[in-house]
Structure 1
Amino acid sequence: MNTPAIDQTKLNDFITRAVGDLSAGYGGVMVSLGGKLGLYQAMVGAGPISAQELAARTACAERYVSEWLNSQAAGGYVDYHAVSQTYELSAEQAMVLADEDSPVYLPHAWNIPASMWFDEAKAIEAFRTGQGVAWADHNGRLFCGVAAFYRNAYRGSLVSAWLPALDGVVERLEAGINVADIGCGHGHSTLLMADAFPRSRFHGFDAHAASIAEARQLAGEANPGERVRFEVARAADYPGKHYGLICFFDALHDMGDPDAAARHAASTLAADGTVMLIEPFANDRVEDNISPIARLYYAASTTICCAHAVSDGGHRVLGAQAGEARLAEVFRKAGFTHIRRAAETPFNLILEVRR
């Protein structure tokens, strides 16, 4: 068998890319540490700051802080001033690394790949057997990572942009309707809507009991009263009828039988109601999904989304890069005739679905 000739330039380019990815993995640990230790937050508005000053501000050991700062400077996550040997966090870097209410805050998201490493043995077994891995069987860092990753994105766009993109839905929410949030997780999306629309009533459903317990705790802190309820229920059998709005927030593709979920939505939706489907952004063809964001979603889909869908029956395993055409097919089979892309972001598709 002939060994193909090696193009040294292509090899070097690929090694550079692979090492860059490895460096990013190391850097993620540093980002998580910086967030949890308050290092980024202590740099906000401080201007150029030395390792000694930052260590004093955060009650951390200077030698560790110094090395951490150098890792941040090397990766472009802070700016380094060579003359004064100080470090500075720009306003743009602070939005991503220090402001926990920013729609682009990312440190908590590193819990997701951490959980993927913890669950590597389960993923290997799933590859070899074809069996699934249930959501509840993943490492606990997954749940808080996913909730935090999506919470700020929803906070930045859900009420201000996505709901207004749906025909007549904001007006109905302002007047008062029943809303079902299917696969609500920790309930961040449910509570955001409840806060914005005090005349409507919101019901959050999720099959993961621990997430519902967390959602109830968060609801207790937000104190929306009886207008918000969280219950353990599956997407194909949650209670209630005549919902004016049914929402699926980055959840349908995780379900083992999305067709059954769509049929149940059709049976519980009010005659003039709307389904809002939020899904990871994807084009319909693999060749059109060659990007860092698509790579992130495909990787998470491999070990989390597809694995859960298989464990949940695996009737139709959509994956996190389903694309609009396959998503629309699910709802057309359930009897819906109106499916429209209402909005999109680099991370999400927002689809409006009606009868």
Structure 2
Amino acid sequence: MDSAKAEGFAESLVDLINKGALAVMISIGHQTGLFDRMAELKKFTSQSLADYSGLNERYVREWLKAMAAGKIIEWSSEPAEFYFPSEHAAFLTRKHGSDNMALYTQYIQVLASVEQSILSCFYQGGGVPYSAYERFHEVMAEDSRQTILAPLLDQILPLIPDLTQKLATGIEVMDIGCGRGKSMIKLAENFPNSRFMGIDLCAEPLESAREEVRRKNLTNIQFKQADLTAFRPAGKFELITAFDAVHDQARPDLVLRTVYESLNDEGHFLMQDIDGSEHLEKNLEHPFSPLLYTISTMHCMSVSLAQGGLGLGTLWGVEMANRMLREAGFTQIRENRLPHDPMNCYFIVRK
């Protein structure tokens, strides 16, 4: 055994455990708004930060120590105060929009909430249903606000020529796996002449979506709970969208066939999905591959298997996505990557 290699690996494990712990602390900082408040104060003590944030000082103090030990913030003893570098704030605060990476640490807690159930699956097979994941839809909705809602009008819609004009004139639009319906609600607000439908398997996020629609008094949008494996919508659509929703379906192949049959001859299917490969060797240098394979094991693969599905997993790959799209009947497939979203590929698909 190479003792130097063994020692180096042991050190890397210590680093990994420390960073895993910091991820939990960063999630707390995001959820409490502490990072946003620190960015406003720049320099602070635990008491001044707690007072400014309306939080308990003892917990804020201990959290700040973890942040200082992890070099997320800086500490000086003379005077005794903490400092939040602007270079770090740029990636940890809501102010900076799509650069805020703190929100993604929330997925660690979401996945950890089903750890024992996933462990049972290792022995018994099967999967864990969506309903078992605490805060899943809440975190996904926040993720969508950052990666989809903010660039939706200016960056995503222009991927399809003349789409904005068609939406303004009035077309039929369906979103599959819509969750809390944030993208459809934004489009319904901006394009009152078009009609929108959101479809999702789960009841809880749809209730949230309907409540927002009632609050905003929107009349050109509706939501329906349905299993896309068997559901066949009435009529044809000019635009069908799927934002990070296809790979964890029970049967992505059947869902894509439904999309094909539901699209009119001039329509477009806009599918945002993970930009990775079905081949492990091509993902080894992917900056997010450890995270994506973990999410796959703990969520995407499992929720599909829980429905008796294929369990393709998060990294089903752009290769398989292209094959399934063609097998569904599509002949025109264009891949797009956007600067704000290094995690996903945007497929523009036509018959």
Give the alignment's TM-score, normalised by structure 2. 0.91
Q: Does 1:140 align with 2:134?
A: yes
Q: Does 1:129 align with 2:124?
A: yes
Relative distance call for 1:68 and 1:192 in structure 2 (3 A) is same
CA shift, 1:284, in A, is 4.2
Give the alignment's TM-score, normalised by structure 1. 0.90
Does the aligned pair in 2 maintain the 1:186–1:212 contact within 8 Å?
Answer: yes
Match of 2:222 among 217, 229, 235: 229
- Counting only pairs closer than 5 Å after superposition, residues 69-218 of structure 1 correspond to structure 2 as 69-99=64-94, 102-136=97-131, 138-218=132-212
Does the aligned pair in 2 maintain the 1:205–1:238 contact within 8 Å?
Answer: no
Letter in 1 for 2:59: Y
Partner SS for 1:80 = strand
Relative distance call for 1:64 and 1:122 in structure 2 (3 A) is closer
Partner SS for 1:149 = helix
| Alignment correspondent of 1:310 | 305
CA shift, 1:336, in A, is 0.5
In structure 2, how many angstroms separate the alpha carbons of the residues matched to 1:253 and 1:205? 16
Partner SS for 1:96 = coil
The number of aligned residues is 347
Does the aligned pair in 1 maintain the 2:23–2:108 contact within 8 Å?
Answer: no
Q: Does 1:54 align with 2:49?
A: yes
Does the aligned pair in 1 maintain the 2:36–2:95 contact within 8 Å?
Answer: no
Relative distance call for 1:60 and 1:267 in structure 2 (3 A) is closer
Q: Does 1:19 align with 2:14?
A: yes
Q: Deviations over 1:283-334 (max 9, x none)?
A: 34211212441211111111211111112232x3321112211001111111
Does the aligned pair in 2 maintain the 1:98–1:105 contact within 8 Å?
Answer: yes
Moved more, 18-27 or 320-329: 18-27
CA shift, 1:173, in A, is 1.9
Partner SS for 1:252 = coil
Q: Deviations over 1:187-224 (max 9, x none)?
A: 12222322333332211110101111111123233x15
Relative distance call for 1:100 and 1:191 in structure 2 (3 A) is farther
Letter in 1 for 2:211: Q
CA shift, 1:270, in A, is 1.1
CA shift, 1:238, in A, is 4.4
| Alignment correspondent of 1:335 | 329
Match of 2:244 among 231, 250, 257: 250
| Alignment correspondent of 2:35 | 40
Match of 1:28 among 23, 34, 58: 23
Letter in 2 for 1:352: I
CA shift, 1:95, in A, is 4.1
Letter in 1 for 2:137: F
Letter in 2 for 1:261: V
In structure 1, how many angstroms separate the alpha carbons of the residues matched to 2:171 and 2:217? 15
Q: Does 1:350 align with 2:346?
A: yes
Partner SS for 1:244 = strand
Relative distance call for 1:140 and 1:238 in structure 2 (3 A) is farther
Letter in 1 for 2:106: N
In structure 2, how many angstroms separate the alpha carbons of the residues matched to 1:293 and 1:307? 19
Does the aligned pair in 1 maintain the 2:127–2:303 contact within 8 Å?
Answer: yes
Relative distance call for 1:125 and 1:351 in structure 2 (3 A) is same
CA shift, 1:182, in A, is 0.1
Partner SS for 2:98 = coil
Letter in 2 for 1:227: N
Match of 1:297 among 292, 295, 308: 292
In structure 1, how many angstroms separate the alpha carbons of the residues matched to 2:302 and 2:111? 12
Letter in 1 for 2:262: T
Relative distance call for 1:196 and 1:16 in structure 2 (3 A) is farther
Does the aligned pair in 1 maintain the 2:121–2:127 contact within 8 Å?
Answer: yes
Relative distance call for 1:119 and 1:284 in structure 2 (3 A) is closer
In structure 2, how many angstroms separate the alpha carbons of the residues matched to 1:289 and 1:247? 26
Does the aligned pair in 1 maintain the 2:189–2:218 contact within 8 Å?
Answer: no
Match of 2:269 among 272, 275, 278: 275
Does the aligned pair in 2 maintain the 1:51–1:65 contact within 8 Å?
Answer: yes
CA shift, 1:106, in A, is 4.1
Letter in 2 for 1:128: Y
